[in-house]
């Protein structure tokens, strides 16, 4: 059986990366042959949909179980649709995690254990910003802070201006919308469902052939 583990490095002595979608590497281990493969997570720096893309990477590798620290709802939905089990709350060295899995130490997770965008610092990310205002408007400033799971959080600062001019606001980069996330999730689910349908149709054809042989 192939299992996929989010990791901070490319060896079995690497630590488990508590983030899933934005982990640095995945280590795929075959529990029957003890062979393993380390692959880069190309979704780690994606602007959005990192969890979905990462889940598709492991699904394409034929992984049956995924072990990680935290898994969000979008990635979990992709795995569920593809028939892949997820185990969360995992930590320690990859080598030890593989052995514990073989011993049946872990339990399958029934749902995601963190919200969307958790790796981006949506938990305890704090920021401090300096605001500047011109006129009777509101000034805005951007601050950066560390979030849980190694991500970055953003903070907003506001300042009151005085006088009779206009407010000055900083330009903020466009953010990925909730609609984009929904579209990515639906596309991933569509791919998984299409795969399941193809498997079902192939099985039906095999049973029909056996029936005719009789």
Answer yes or no: are the C-beta atoms of 56 and 82 closer than 8 Å.
no
> Can you give the pLDDT of all 214 residues of the chain as single tens digits?
999 999 999 999 999 999 999 999 999 999 999 999 999 999 888 888 889 999 999 999 999 999 999 999 999 999 999 999 999 999 999 999 999 999 999 999 999 988 866 655 433 334 444 444 444 444 444 444 444 444 444 444 444 444 444 444 444 444 445 566 566 666 666 666 766 677 777 778 777 777 776 6
| pTM for this model (two decimals) | 0.56
Answer yes or no: are the C-beta atoms of 130 and 157 closer than 8 Å.
yes
Answer yes or no: are the C-beta atoms of 155 and 129 closer than 8 Å.
yes
Of 86, 42, 81, give the one whose Cα is nearest residue 64: 86
Place of tokens 């073989």: 102
SS3 103: coil
Take residue 87 and report the two structure tokens written for it. 């185990």
Answer yes or no: are the C-beta atoms of 74 and 185 closer than 8 Å.
yes
SS3 135: coil
Distance, in Å, from the CA atom of 159 to the CA atom of 68, rounded to the nearest integer, reads 42
Answer yes or no: are the C-beta atoms of 69 and 7 closer than 8 Å.
no
Neighbours of 159 (CB within 10 A): 16
Distance, in Å, from the CA atom of 205 to the CA atom of 213, rounded to the nearest integer, reads 12
Query: Residues 87, 92, 98, 100: is their CA dihedral positive or negative?
Result: negative
Take residue 96 and report the two structure tokens written for it. 């030890």
Answer yes or no: are the C-beta atoms of 74 and 111 closer than 8 Å.
no
């Amino acid at each position: 059986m192939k299992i996929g583990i989010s990791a901070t490095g490319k060896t079995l002595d690497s630590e488990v990366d508590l983030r899933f979608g934005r982990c640095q590497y995945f280590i795929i281990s075959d529990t029957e042959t003890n062979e393993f493969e380390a692959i880069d997570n190309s979704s780690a720096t994606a602007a959005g949909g990192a969890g979905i893309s990462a889940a598709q990477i492991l699904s394409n590798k034929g992984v049956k179980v995924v072990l990680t620290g935290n898994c969000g709802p979008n990635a979990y939905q992709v795995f569920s649709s593809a028939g892949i089990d997820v185990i969360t709350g995992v930590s320690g060295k990859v080598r030890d995690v593989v052995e514990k899995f073989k011993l049946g130490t872990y339990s399958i997770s029934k749902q995601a254990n963190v919200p969307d965008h958790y790796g981006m610092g949506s938990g305890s990310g704090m920021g401090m910003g300096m605001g500047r205002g011109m006129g009777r408007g509101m000034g805005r400033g951007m601050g950066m802070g560390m979030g849980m799971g190694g991500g970055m959080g953003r903070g907003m600062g506001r300042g009151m201006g005085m006088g009779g001019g206009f407010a000055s606001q900083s330009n903020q980069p466009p953010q990925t919308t909730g609609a984009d996330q929904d579209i990515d999730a639906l596309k991933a689910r569509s791919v998984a469902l299409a795969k399941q349908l193809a498997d079902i149709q192939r099985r039906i054809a095999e049973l029909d052939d056996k029936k005719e042989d009789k």
